[in-house]
Structure 1
Amino acid sequence: MTGPLRGTPPALDREFHHPTRLALAAYLSACGEAEFAVLRDYCQVSDSTLSKTLSALEKTGYVSIRKGYLGKRPRTWAALTLTGRRALARHLAALEEIAATARRAAGAGAEDTGAV
Structure 2
Amino acid sequence: MGDYSLPMKFDRMIHQPSRLAIMALLAGCESADFAYLLKETNLNKGTLSKHLSNLAEAGYIEIVKTFKGKYPNTSAALTPKGRRAFKKYRRQYRKFSKSIDDD
2:68 alignment counterpart: 70
**How many matched pairs?**
102
Return the offset for 1:9. Answer: 2.9
Return the offset for 1:16. Answer: 1.3
Whether 1:91 and 2:93 are equivalent positions in the alignment is no
Return the offset for 1:5. Answer: 2.9
Decide which structure has the larger Cα Rg and report it: 1
2:50 alignment counterpart: 52
2:77 alignment counterpart: 79
Counterpart secondary structure, 1:32: coil
CA distance in structure 1 between the partners assigned to 2:28 and 2:39 by the alignment: 16
Q: Deviations over 1:52-74 (max 9, x none)?
A: 00000000000100001000001
CA distance in structure 2 between the partners assigned to 1:56 and 1:96 by the alignment: 25
1:1-116 equivalence runs, <5 A: 3-5=1-3, 9=6, 11-105=9-103
Indicate conservation of the 8 Å contact 2:26/2:78, yes or no. yes
Return the offset for 1:33. Answer: 0.7
Return the offset for 1:18. Answer: 1.2
CA distance in structure 2 between the partners assigned to 1:44 and 1:5 by the alignment: 33
Q: Deviations over 1:40-91 (max 9, x none)?
A: 1110011100000000000000010000100000110100111001100111
1:113 alignment counterpart: none
Higher relative contact order (CA 8 A, sep 6+): 2
CA distance in structure 1 between the partners assigned to 2:81 and 2:10 by the alignment: 15
Counterpart secondary structure, 1:75: strand
Gaps of 5+ in 1: 106-116
Change (3 A) 1:4 1:22: closer
Using structure 1 for the length normalisation, give the TM-score.
Answer: 0.82
CA distance in structure 2 between the partners assigned to 1:96 and 1:5 by the alignment: 12
